[in-house]
Structure 1
């Protein structure tokens, strides 16, 4: 029995327990004594008693049986490889002859070699690697059989627990039973667990990067990394013993912030003004057309934007600059300007949609009060609505900036991969995210500085976004206090 099948059976038992518990609660409520909880709470409590212990058992059983099975396989493989690396051809023939699942016709001879045996196993759903050796076949078959038995045992055990929990929950139903309190405690624990998981996931991500970053800084000086102006990791294939290279962060950090700034200069004004228009000026019919059309831009994959920049926008800017300069172009096809423009267009719906929702949420009474005092509509927007919506707008801009900083595909195609340090927006630069991908791609030693630097870049990017969040919170707090 697969885990999914057992899970579905447990859910069916839980639903039965819910309806049975609710029905029993209604039957016991004769009106003489005031019921503490409604029937649906009794049913929910019976369902929780049926589902939660069974699912917990199923999860523990799955991990435990998997670990035990892996241990058995490792022990058998070690035992086999210590004696011989393969079994004889006679053993292969007898093994293939005795496998019932192959269902070979009676008039055929059993396979004599591994090359003949592997297609038969593959035809029956047993996948083998090309370098599979003879002694691995019986181990794999035994492991499959054992996994099937474990699956049935775990499924039946979970189903038995679900039935027992359902019966116990139904028997607990009483007029004065505090089922509502029990259900609410379970829900509170579930919500707390969900929030804890979110926090622990963030902590785990940070720690996973931090430990690798510490290993990187044990080989490379932090000073040369954070203040270095040359990025030349000198990639070496695994085992080649290549030189260490230089890991200057400044060109990558400058490229990340520069391209994000150009993108924000495009996205924020256009997105904010379109949000103001849709929220304050546009009619309902126009809004119903313009808003979905803008949000449609957010559904386009970033690789499509990158291809557009590489094939269309970049060459167009280069040709225009060549015409303006009278020959030699001063704008490269892959440049900061190209990546920033395309990324800015991609981010317009993010700013527009969020800002529109925030502006729309401003109470209508504030608009009416401003207009009643004689202010024009534009003055109301500038002096009343935008200040009231400022905290939310700052949050929208922050989210947009984070999206711009984390973008990769557009930068690869539109700005290139060259780690240059320049202030000219018409030249090529690259970002931290692009180099993270580069450093973790290829046949490399995972413990080399050329690979570990990706984790140092990642945690640096994390702290950059953290500083942005802190600055945004400070701005929001300042202006919110001033407005209040």
Structure 2
């Protein structure tokens, strides 16, 4: 049975175990005067049985799915004749691909050696046996776990304590996985960044004003000397992000103030969902809008007033990106403003302040930490955007502050460097990891600043 079919079956068995344990707990409680004489409610006995059924079976299923392919591949490779045995990891990968294609029928066995054909037959047999054994083992463990928990339904068993401890361990494991995943990502990026700086000096990367990641393939090749200065990329990133924030911050903040303090309930019920729909539009749609509508319009307007404008410009990308991040600022600011206690509003109005003065002098300062957090979150979103920049601002790494020129960003260059077949020993490819690490540090600093702002002002209004 396939893993995708086995997983729902285990969940169904867990539901069955829940129902059986629930009915048994009520049956056990009847002779002793009802469920009030049980150590725990029937729900906890049923939940314990469900956990005993599902968790061990899912762990075995995950372990089997994780190691099955490697074990089978090792057995298949070891079964090859000595003259076909691969002498490198790359050769082994190609040979396994050929064997897999023959086993699946995508490649005819007529043009393959007999040893490879025999290995393909062995691969197909091992896969079928593995699925059979996995199905039997997982279902057996699920049934045994449910049976054990069912027999442990007794008045003196504190099932609530055991269920809560199990759930606490599950929550801890989930949190640990999230943390370890983050550390793994950061560690892998750091290692590749360190390899990049073994080829390119750190200060040349940080202070360089030219970005042209081209490396010579031959010693006599002309015109392929790379330049890895990051300043043009960060200049383009900041230019587009600033334009986007200049559009999004006033619009989003003022719309949040209107919706929370001045709009009627009917207007708010219609306008707020429509405004938040902007967050659900795919970025590629914004990119089409920027490339086909906004960029040509900006070029025509610029030419009409005698200015030179590129067909792809930072202004077009920034304007559309600003529209995209309006819901981030508007929705978060609206929630924060509504969270300000009503007593603060009432006190200000009772002292004779107008609604506008109350907004400026009381509500806005109290909501400032959350508003700043929303703005910095939107800034991080703008810095990490790729699709709009690719379609509306171009790929040229120009060091300019002119919003009518073509620029590029850090994220766009990361995508460009990692597209296609790349060799991960080349400084050109490794530079993508250095850019990613630098971008990670910048966004981390923005988050730290946001936390400091929130903590500083929250103490004054709590």
Same structural fold, with TM-score higher than 0.5 when normalized by the shorter chain: yes
Answer with 167-176 or 440-449: which moved more: 440-449
Q: Cα offset for 1:466?
A: 0.6
Structure 2 CA distance for aligned equivalents of residues 251 and 8 of structure 1: 52
Structure 1 CA distance for aligned equivalents of residues 220 and 125 of structure 2: 43
Q: Cα offset for 1:170?
A: 0.9
Per the alignment, in what secondary structure is the counterpart of residue 218 of structure 1? helix
Segments of 4+ moved more than 6 angstroms: 129-132, 237-242
Equivalence for 1:189: 169
Equivalent residue runs for 1:7-406 within 5 Å: 7-29=7-29, 30-31=32-33, 34-77=37-80, 79=82, 81=84, 126-128=105-107, 133-135=112-114, 136-234=116-214, 243-325=224-306, 329-406=307-384
Distance 1:163 1:130, change over 3 A: closer
Distance 1:51 1:436, change over 3 A: same
Structure 1 CA distance for aligned equivalents of residues 341 and 381 of structure 2: 29
Q: Cα offset for 1:147?
A: 0.9
Q: Quick check: 1:440–1:454 contact (8 Å CA) kept in 2?
A: yes
Question: 1:134-157 CA distances to partner (integer Å, 9 max, x unpaired)?
Answer: 543332232122111111111111
TM-score (norm 1): 0.86
Q: Quick check: 1:237–1:444 contact (8 Å CA) kept in 2?
A: no
Match of 1:460 among 438, 444, 450: 438
Question: 1:185-213 CA distances to partner (integer Å, 9 max, x unpaired)?
Answer: 11111111111111111111111111111
Structure 2 CA distance for aligned equivalents of residues 240 and 434 of structure 1: 31
Q: Cα offset for 1:5?
A: 2.9
1:471 aligns with 2:436: no
Equivalence for 1:2: 2
Per the alignment, in what secondary structure is the counterpart of residue 374 of structure 1? coil
Aligned residues, how many? Answer: 444
Distance 1:77 1:248, change over 3 A: farther
Per the alignment, in what secondary structure is the counterpart of residue 126 of structure 2? helix
Question: 1:237-268 CA distances to partner (integer Å, 9 max, x unpaired)?
Answer: 79998845110011111111121111011101
Per the alignment, in what secondary structure is the counterpart of residue 79 of structure 2? helix
Per the alignment, in what secondary structure is the counterpart of residue 424 of structure 2? coil
Question: 1:16-53 CA distances to partner (integer Å, 9 max, x unpaired)?
Answer: 22111111111122228732200010011111111111
Answer with 40-49 or 71-80: which moved more: 71-80
Q: Quick check: 2:76–2:122 contact (8 Å CA) kept in 1?
A: no
Match of 1:413 among 378, 391, 394: 391
Q: Cα offset for 1:390?
A: 1.6
Question: Which blocks of at least 5 consecutive residues in structure 2 are unaligned?
Answer: 87-100
Q: Quick check: 2:333–2:370 contact (8 Å CA) kept in 1?
A: yes
Question: 1:65-110 CA distances to partner (integer Å, 9 max, x unpaired)?
Answer: 3222010122234646259xxxxxxxxxxxxxxxxxxxxxxxxxxx
Greater CA radius of gyration, 1 or 2?
1
Per the alignment, in what secondary structure is the counterpart of residue 433 of structure 2? helix
Per the alignment, in what secondary structure is the counterpart of residue 81 of structure 1? coil
Distance 1:277 1:230, change over 3 A: same
Structure 2 CA distance for aligned equivalents of residues 74 and 312 of structure 1: 57
Q: Quick check: 2:61–2:134 contact (8 Å CA) kept in 1?
A: yes
